[in-house]
Chains A and B, each alone.
Chain A
């Protein structure tokens, strides 16, 4: 009894200078990039700002798939500016899938929580502290950003895009009853071991991959919390949602419907 009390007030509870104190949480942000030379410095700047202001411990892992536009060069400059304990470069030779990018990134992640997001500024790092607070509040295994609930929303979508989005989400909710309002969103916080387990089980690609993660999470009884986010789409004008993508989305949805 006396020995326990003595150890509780010992220096072990002070923050250790290197690595991570046993009870301190660290958040690893995985940023898969392809041709993000313009956006990468900006997203990193916003991430650093958000984490510094909120005081959470973090690292940013940039997984560049051999971008021809010089993304890697910019990433190296950022590493020099912010330090290699905050910015980790773990590039790959060529464009491989998102799932493998996450696996690759996680191998080098020293955090116990993983944040996945898009590097094109559609996801704003200011929501990350809200994700973290939500996670602590409900002790959730996953926190998912949603565009469809609360004051979540989108900027830059015309009526056609909004209709497609809502119809797709409606059909998904009816068929899969997933317990989360935004299934195709990719701005999420996961416990590291949860993400590892889920990636091992998922086989789809693209939008459907993100959907499958949530569906499998429910199957494994993981808890999911939601935080409304704003999604600023600056890319939509250049890359319209094509018939191809819609068809592959429906195929993926029906596959999940029939197999889970």
Chain B
């Protein structure tokens, strides 16, 4: 099954369960407080997902490691390489 298919199945399953429960199609006697939470649940989940995404990406950007040392090391190695290669006869 492709990832798209997995997503569609998952959404269809959750969506139909939610719809069935909110419309009372399963004939269950649900307390009204339960239904009050259930009805806006998809919207809540969407907003939560959005916040999670923003928070995660923000955290990852903030902690994105800057490799200052690597750049410095590379620079000095470039000098070393050029000197050594010139010694060995390379014409740049």
Contacts and interface: CB of A to CB of B under 8 A. Distances in A.
Interface of A: 38, 41-42, 45-46, 74, 77-78, 80-81, 121, 124, 148, 151-157, 159, 162-163, 165-167, 169-170, 175-177, 230-232, 256-260
A132 B91 CA distance: 33
Nearest to B53: A170
5 contacts: A151-B65, A154-B66, A163-B61, A176-B3, A260-B3
Interface of B: 2-4, 53, 56-57, 60-61, 64-68, 70-71, 74, 77-78, 81-82, 84-85, 88-92
Given A154-B67, A232-B71, 16 more contacts: A42-B77, A42-B82, A45-B81, A45-B84, A77-B91, A81-B89, A154-B65, A155-B67, A155-B68, A159-B61, A167-B57, A170-B56, A231-B67, A232-B67, A258-B2, A260-B3
B9 to A, nearest CB: 14
A41 B90 contact: yes
A42 B65 contact: no
A81 B88 contact: yes
A231 B4 CA distance: 32
A162 B77 CA distance: 26
A250 to B, nearest CB: 15
A257 B60 contact: no
A159 B3 CA distance: 31
A156 B65 CA distance: 11
Contact of A46 (B68, B77, B89): B77
Contacts of A157: 64
A41 B81 contact: yes
A2 to B, nearest CB: 52
B27 to A, nearest CB: 36
A166 B61 contact: yes
B90 to A, nearest CB: 5
Contacts of A77: 89-91
Contacts of A42: 77-78, 81-82
Per CB-CB distance, the 4 closest pairs between chain A and chain B, nearest first, are A153-B65, A230-B70, A230-B67, A45-B81
B67 to A, nearest CB: 4
Given A42-B82, A45-B84, A81-B89, A260 B60 contact: no
A166 B84 CA distance: 39
Contacts of A148: 60
Contact of B2 (A156, A232, A259): A259
